[in-house]
């Protein structure tokens, strides 16, 4: 098992000064976020160290079952987190888990099936983390936007249903709005990549000593991958969420 070098610990502690500085500002301006900052910082440290040692073991073993287990845990946590944020949606956690699973499986299946990445622990798990994390954010945005649109447009939707529209037809304009809301962040990020920011994958490779062109090649793949994952997850989330608000008789469910 790899150790954690003393020099790296020193660098982490030095970077911690930025968090402390932010906490001091929060305290000074009475923003009252300093406690949350410190808790988040401590949790991030413990969680990342733990996953670092765990991945070190998994990479060494390179067992397909272990890869699938890690991915399953990632999806489960992402589904729970996304569902918790969209509590107004009936069966929100189940919807989120299903949508994120669909997005992740389709995206990773295509990437591995086309030979872009190999099904090894060292390649699959980091890529799965990026895909699932992005899918979680898209799923949350889509679910919450559909809920907001239905609450705000309930009278219009019920009028359309009363005039003979199916549930899908009545909700179609609001599903499009929700999909736009969910996919806009990753599309905007892709438009400005390299101009405003150097994303994490590219920055990490450069800091590790890779050439800028090698880092750019990987980052291009990552950005395209995330757009695909956003589309798959967004569509799945929209379809599954609309079903929670409609009865089998194409009637809008009453709010709880």
Q: Are residues 29 and 77 in the same domain?
A: no
- Tell me the torsion sign for CA atoms 116, 119, 120, 122: positive
pLDDT in tens, 28-86: 988 889 899 999 999 998 988 888 888 888 888 888 998 999 999 999 999 999 999 98
Give the separation between CA 200 and CA 218, rounded to whole angstroms: 11
List Cα–Cα distances, 175 to 87, 116, 152, 226, 238, in angstroms. Answer: 18, 32, 13, 20, 6
List Cα–Cα distances, 131 to 18, 94, 134, 173, in angstroms. Answer: 29, 19, 5, 27
Q: Are residues 28 and 83 in the same domain?
A: no
Q: Are residues 67 and 46 in the same domain?
A: no
Domain residue limits at 28: 1-61
pLDDT in tens, 211-250: 888 888 888 888 899 999 999 999 999 999 999 988 887 7
The candidate with the shortest Cα–Cα distance to 173, out of 227, 228, 242, 229, is 242
- Domain end, chosen from 35, 61, 87, is at 61
In-domain check, residue 255: no
In-domain check, residue 132: yes
Asked whether the whole model's pTM tops 0.95, one would answer no
- Domain end, chosen from 39, 61, 83, is at 61
245: which 2 tokens?
């608000």
pLDDT in tens, 81-138: 999 998 889 899 999 999 999 999 999 999 999 999 999 988 999 999 999 999 999 9
Q: Are residues 201 and 164 in the same domain?
A: yes
Q: Are residues 125 and 241 in the same domain?
A: yes
In-domain check, residue 173: yes
Q: Are residues 143 and 208 in the same domain?
A: yes
pLDDT at 4 over 60: no
* 104 membership: H or E segment, kind and range: helix 92-113
Give the separation between CA 199 and CA 227, rounded to whole angstroms: 14
């Amino acid at each position: 098992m790899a150790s954690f070098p003393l020099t790296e610990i020193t660098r982490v502690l030095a970077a911690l000064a930025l968090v402390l500085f932010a906490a001091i500002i929060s305290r000074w301006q009475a923003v009252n976020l300093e406690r949350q900052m410190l808790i988040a910082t401590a949790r991030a440290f413990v969680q990342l160290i733990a996953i670092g040692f765990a991945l070190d073991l998994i990479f060494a073993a390179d067992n397909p079952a272990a890869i699938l287990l890690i991915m399953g845990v990632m999806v489960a946590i992402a589904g729970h987190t996304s569902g918790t944020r969209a509590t107004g949606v009936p069966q929100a956690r189940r919807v989120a888990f299903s949508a994120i699973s669909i997005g992740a499986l389709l995206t990773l299946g295509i990437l591995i099936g086309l030979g872009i990445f190999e099904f090894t622990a060292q390649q699959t798990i980091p890529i799965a983390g990026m895909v699932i994390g992005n899918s979680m954010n898209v799923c949350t945005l889509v679910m919450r936007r559909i809920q907001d649109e239905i609450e705000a447009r309930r009278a219009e939707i019920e009028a359309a249903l009363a005039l003979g529209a199916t549930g899908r037809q009545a909700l179609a304009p609001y599903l499009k709005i929700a999909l736009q809301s969910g996919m806009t962040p990753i599309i905007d990020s892709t438009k400005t990549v390299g101009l405003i920011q150097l994303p994490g994958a590219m920055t990490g490779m450069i800091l590790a000593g890779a050439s800028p062109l090698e880092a750019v090649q990987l980052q291009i793949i990552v950005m395209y991958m995330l757009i695909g994952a956003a589309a798959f997850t967004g569509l799945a989330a929209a379809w599954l969420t609309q079903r929670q608000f409609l009865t089998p008789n194409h009637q809008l469910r009453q709010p709880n």
